[in-house]
Amino acid sequence: MKKDDKEKLKSWRLQKLEECKGFPKYFYYFSFIDNFESIIANGILPKNEIIKKKLITKSFADMDVQNFRKDIDCFISNSQKKKLHDLVPLYLNPKTPTLYARKNIQNQLFFLIINSKKLISDTNIDFAFTDGNATNQITKKYWRLDKLKNLKWEIINGQSWNDKEDGKRIRNSEFLIFPRIQIDHVETISCFDTTALLRIATILSQQNIKINTNINTNLFF
């Protein structure tokens, strides 16, 4: 893509994001601290790329869900059809049913917080997004940013989902990124407690990488 075309695409994407009143300032990705060194070395990779590179990672995923998810097709913003496992999943709110189901291991997890507009305006990436849990049969998948208006932002951005109709599915809405997310897109790394923060800070220091880190229990349950 020519430089002028990239600038036009970037401007168009940013315009569409500005038009969506509920669009969040940040995307959220969480993982085990045991996986942090691999993420620093390789970026945030989709499941199929992790398998292809034979990376050893620790997973909290439900294998039945993953076996179903790997076969789901999804069109992305370059009009190509991909599998969900070809895409990096990001949440639009840190407090999701997925995290809630793992609240007993939150001290082993960390959040990567990514500026959403900066990421989507990067013309080296393509994307799709969903109006709920991507594996649910009634969930719709989109790749055109003018369809952001179809998402239930009052549930995605709300304080809770349990008291909303279909709230659990909707709260797990995802932004799906192709082909990967470079670590320089990460604005902040947030942890549950001091022990977790020290582990993250030690790895960053060893790799001579500077990223803002903090303890932010507001992101957790």
CB 58 within 8 A of CB 33: no
Report whether pLDDT(123) > 90. Answer: yes
Confidence of residue 61 (pLDDT cuts 50, 70, 90): confident
pLDDT tens-digit profile of 78-92? Answer: 999 999 999 999 999
Report whether pLDDT(62) > 90. Answer: no
Confidence of residue 109 (pLDDT cuts 50, 70, 90): very high
As given in the structure block, the two tokens for residue 60 are 């909290």
DSSP state of 181: B
pLDDT value for 24: 98
Percent of the chain at pLDDT above 70?
100
Report whether pLDDT(162) > 90. Answer: yes
pLDDT value for 64: 83
The model's pTM: 0.96
pLDDT value for 170: 98
Count: domains in the chain: 1
Alpha-helical runs (H) found in 53-104: 63-69, 97-100
Give me the domain span that covers residue 85.
3-219
* Distant-in-sequence, close-in-space partners of 92: CB < 8 Å, separation ≥ 6: 24, 27, 28, 156, 157, 173, 174, 175
Terminal Cα distance for the chain, rounded: 44
